[in-house]
Amino acid sequence: MMIVIENLHKSYGDLKVLKGVDLSIKKGEIVSIVGSSGAGKSTLLHLMGTLDRADEGKIIINDENTSVLSDKKLSVFRNKHIGFVFQFHHLLPEFTALENVCIPAFINHTPKAEAEKKAIELLDLLGLTARMHHKPSELSGGEQQRVAVCRALINSPAVVLADEPSGNLDSVAAKELHQLFFDLRAKTNQTFVIVTHNEELANMADRKLVMKDGKISV
């Protein structure tokens, strides 16, 4: 299994958000998570991505129990093994598409020439070769989000976590982005976990999980 989650609990103050989540996800699987606002979808994704810590339970990713890692080790693990795509692309405005894609690789101490070569390959794969020297403000919404996907993939993560990735896109760009996840999986056999309100994307996944009241309803 690529991801194993056992008895996950998370509260913020008096608000219990996750109430004992159990979940296993196989390598190369695309899983969508749906549910109403406040059901705990994004919280689960953030815990899976080690951006926050659970109050109880454990998360094992790629055979590593992330629950027991120190903050420093967790940061290194996250940058190396997990790629993130959010609703807002979070690209740095003063850098080009190519430079933005390279940033996680530089954090990972990848040599500049190697990082740029991989970034150019990814940008080419996602149809952005002609846009690589453009800054985010010069790109369309769909292009910005594809650059963000390249950035998520630069360190060849085992797992890609996407939180409402097409939430800000028009229907055509959203459809293209959704298809992209499946094309990438076919090429790389990476695992994708996608939180979405988009029914079409949710139903395309290998498995659709419904979160309700802090648990995954079966």
> Which residues are paired to 34 by β-bridges?
210
Q: Taking a C-beta distance cutoff of 8 angstroms, is the pair 193, 164 a contact?
A: no
pTM reported for the whole predicted model? 0.87
Grade residue 218 by pLDDT with cuts at 50, 70 and 90. Answer: low
Q: Has residue 19 been placed in a domain?
A: no
Q: Taking a C-beta distance cutoff of 8 angstroms, is the pair 54, 10 a contact?
A: yes
Q: Has residue 20 been placed in a domain?
A: no
Q: Has residue 133 been placed in a domain?
A: yes
Q: Has residue 22 been placed in a domain?
A: no
- How far CA 186 is from CA of 5, 59, 98, in Å, comes to 25, 26, 24
Q: Has residue 64 been placed in a domain?
A: no
Q: Has residue 14 been placed in a domain?
A: no
Give the count of domains, the chain. Answer: 1
Residue 182, domain CATH: 3.40.50.300
pLDDT tens track for 4-53: 999 999 999 988 999 999 999 999 999 999 988 877 888 999 899 988 89
Neighbours of 187 (CB within 10 A): 9
Q: Taking a C-beta distance cutoff of 8 angstroms, is the pair 196, 34 a contact?
A: yes
Token couple for 16: 């219990």
Token couple for 201: 């994307």
The whole-chain average pLDDT of the chain stands at 89
Which of 93, 85, 106 is closest to 192 using CA atoms? 85
Q: Has residue 10 been placed in a domain?
A: no
Q: Has residue 13 been placed in a domain?
A: no
pLDDT tens track for 108-150: 899 999 999 999 998 988 889 999 999 999 998 888 988 998 9
Position 57 scores a pLDDT of 94
> Is residue 184 over pLDDT 80?
yes
* Domain extent for 102: 28-56+69-217
